[in-house]
Amino acid sequence: MTDSIPWIALDGAAKFTDDVKQDEHMPSRGIHLENRPKREPMSFKPALMPIVALAMATAAPIASATTETFNYTFQTFFDTSTFLNTTDKKTFAVPVASLSIADVSGGVQLTLNHFKTAFPAKTTSGTFIDNLWLDGPNGSIKLKTTNTLLAAGTGYNILFPDFPEPGYGYDWDIDFKAGTFAEGETAVLTILGKGVTARSFTRGTTPMLDISNVGSPYKTLLSSNVHFLGTPAVPEPSTYGMLLLGLAGLAAWSRRKPT
């Protein structure tokens, strides 16, 4: 059978066999790659190792001091105009308030903004925030701003949690003095205590507001108050997270290029 095969074909087959023996990792068809540059293993440049070490050392204290901020808006409310359906909800055209809960030394800072909106009001004075309900750990509360006032007895109540709406229970009832937290005002408060963090206030029931002096069609014979439910918490990027991204970029940049 081999007598009928041309000599040049046999010679090519022999050469192909020799090529494979010379390099066991050779691609198919006997292609030689001896003259191609070999790729070096990826590694950190030694000169950059001190820079990476310094960045990691800097990250350690920042990690222990990482702060978080969670933001809420209040746009959905329990529709009091539907008397027979007490759990019916409605969404106003724009948020009537916003809340940020931020980590500070020893606890959290609350920043509550009451926006000027066209939500129906009973009088020309507009609406007022009467209560802020929160679900979080115990601590001591302090109002830092002077444009609003807290009512007597406001704060944390672990024995008898408040249920302003069916299924919504809260340990914190921050009660503002009636008629003081008007539209356009901002209240800043701190809650300090062991285990009090911004994230600890996001694990339970979503915050709720009590808005008073509301008008028709939400004013009823018994009340002129409406409850607004906060949106799910929206966290802001933490400083440490941004630093980790920077370290990742530094590590990728410092890898040795192929020679």
CB atoms within 10 A of CB 212: 19
| Phi and psi torsions of 47, nearest 5° | -65, -25
Q: How far apart are CA 77 and CA 87, in angstroms?
A: 10
Domain of 202 in residue numbering reads as 67-236
Nearest to 251 by CA among 1, 53, 101, 4: 53
pLDDT digits (tens, 9 = 90+) for 173-206: 999 999 999 999 999 999 999 999 999 999 999 9
* CA quadruple 114, 112, 81, 94: dihedral sign: positive
Q: How far apart are CA 16 and CA 154, in angstroms?
A: 89
Whether residue 61 is found in the same domain as residue 71: no
Whether residue 161 is found in the same domain as residue 248: no
Average pLDDT, the chain: 79
Whether residue 73 is found in the same domain as residue 29: no
Strand, helix or coil for residue 209: strand
Whether residue 170 is found in the same domain as residue 80: yes
Whether residue 192 is found in the same domain as residue 250: no
- DSSP code per residue over 90-147: EE-SS-SEEEEEEEETTEEEEEEEE------BSSTT--EEEEEEE-----EEEE--SS
Whether residue 2 is found in the same domain as residue 61: no
Whether residue 168 is found in the same domain as residue 242: no
pLDDT digits (tens, 9 = 90+) for 226-253: 999 999 888 876 545 554 555 555 555 5
pLDDT digits (tens, 9 = 90+) for 32-43: 545 555 555 555
**How many domains would you assign to the chain?**
3
Q: Are 131 and 173 in contact (CB under 8 A)?
A: yes
Q: Are 172 and 103 in contact (CB under 8 A)?
A: no
The answer to pTM > 0.85 is: no
Which of 59-63, 124-128, 161-165, 209-213 shows the lowest per-residue confidence on average (mean pLDDT)? 59-63
Whether residue 111 is found in the same domain as residue 124: yes
Q: Compute the C-alpha angle 49/54/55, nearest 5°.
A: 100
